[in-house]
Amino acid sequence: MSAPVTTLIALLHGPDQRGLVARASGWIFERGGNILHADQHRDEVTGVFFQRLEWIPAAPKTATGKPRVKDVDAEVSEFLAFARDELKMQATVTESTHRPRVALFVSKADHCFHDIILRWRAGEFPCDIVGVISNHEQLASAAEAYGLKFFHLPILPGKKITGESDQLALLKKLKVELVVLARYMQVLSDEFLRQFGKPIINIHHSFLPAFAGGRPYHQAHERGVKLIGATAHYATAVLDDGPIIQQDVARVTHRHSIDDLVRKGKDLEKSVLAQALRWHLENRILVYGNKTVVFD
C-alpha cells in the first residue's frame, strides 16, 4: 500500500477585500501546487472573510530536473508569511498526515466512550487516542479491553486543584493535543483551561443554550418540550457557553417518559460528538469569537 499523499490545509480569516480568493489560489498555482478543496464564507454583518484551502504541494526539482523531497515545513512558513503580510489575514496551516494525540475524559456514562473508540478503531478518526482519563474507575476494564491506557485521577472534595494538577501533568507527559470530554461530569476550572491551552471538545446533553448545567432531560420533561437535543462545543471558562460545533435534535411528545428522553438523547450525543470530532480532526472548523465557521 502506498503512503498517503500529504496535503496542506489552511484556515484563514480577516477583513474582506477584493481578490482574496484569486490571490491565495494564485500563490499555490505559481508554486505548482494542486488545490483539492476550496471553500469560503463572508460574514455580512462583520465583513470578515473566512476560507479553507487544501492543496498538494508540488515536489520541487533539482538542477538536473529530477524531483526531490518537498520541504513541506518551508512551504507552510512561506504561506503563513504570505497570508500575514500580503493578505492581512490570520492563518493556520496543518499537514493532513498529522495525527493529533487525543485524550478522552470520562466519568461513569459509557455510551460516548464506546462510540468514539469503536469509530476510531474502524478508521473514522485520523488521530491517536493515547489515554483515557477518569475521575471514577468504572470504565477501567473496558478501556484496557480496547488496548488503551486508563488513568484514574479522582477529583476529591476540597482537592480539585490537586486533582487538576495531576491531570495537567499527565496531559503534558502524554503530549496531548486535544481533549474530548466524553460525558466527563466535572467542570474544568479556568486555570485548567488556561494551563492546558489546547482545544477541548465537550458534548452537552441539551440543545444549548436551553437547559444548561445538570439534569437537562429532567428539565426538558418538566417543561414539556417537543424537541430535545445535544450540543458539541469547545470548552471555555464559561460553563456550557463555548463556540458551538454541531447540534442535532429529536422530536418528543407528552407520551415520552424521562427514560425515553434519556435514551433518545444518548443517541444524539453519540452522533453529534462524533461529527464534531471528525470535523476538528479534518481541520474544517475555524473559531471566531464565540462562534465557529464549519467548512463541511
* Residue 58 or residue 64, greater confidence: 58
Contact 14, 48 (CB under 8 A): yes
In whole angstroms, give the CA distance from residue 283 to residue 9: 7
Which 3 state secondary structure label does DSSP give 277?
A: helix
In whole angstroms, give the CA distance from residue 120 to residue 258: 31
Q: Which of 16-30, 113-127, 163-177, 233-247 has the lowest mean pLDDT?
A: 233-247
In whole angstroms, give the CA distance from residue 146 to residue 121: 9
* Residue 202 or residue 208, greater confidence: 202
pLDDT computed for residue 206 by the predictor = 73
At residue 218, what is the residue type? Answer: H
How many Cβ atoms from other residues are within 10 Å of residue 89's Cβ? 22
Number of residues in the chain? 296
CATH class of 8-95: alpha beta
Contact 82, 2 (CB under 8 A): no
In whole angstroms, give the CA distance from residue 170 to residue 192: 13
Which one is catalytic: 16, 43, 73, 240? Answer: 240
**Range(s) of the chain covered by CATH 3.40.50.170:** 101-294
In whole angstroms, give the CA distance from residue 200 to residue 171: 12
pTM of the full structure: 0.90
CATH class of 101-294: alpha beta
Q: DSSP string of 156-168?
A: -TT-HHHHHHHHH
What sign for the dihedral angle of Cα 72, 74, 75, 76? positive
Tell me: pLDDT of 256 over 80: yes
- Whose CA is closest to 13, among 35, 54, 46? 46
b/e burial code for range 154-170 (CB count within 10 A of at least 16 → b): ebeeeebeebbebbeeb
Catalytic residue list contains 240:
yes
Q: What is the mean pLDDT of residues 237-258?
A: 88
Q: What is the pLDDT of residues 65-112, one digit of tens each?
A: 444 445 789 999 999 999 999 999 999 999 999 999 999 999 999 999
C-alpha cell at position 250: 429529536
Contact 9, 94 (CB under 8 A): yes
Which 3 state secondary structure label does DSSP give 106?
A: strand
pLDDT computed for residue 144 by the predictor = 96
**Range(s) of the chain covered by CATH 3.30.70.260:** 8-95
What sign for the dihedral angle of Cα 132, 287, 205, 296? negative
Q: What is the pLDDT of residues 137-158, one digit of tens each?
A: 999 999 999 999 999 999 998 9
> 243 — phi, psi (to 5°)?
-55, 125
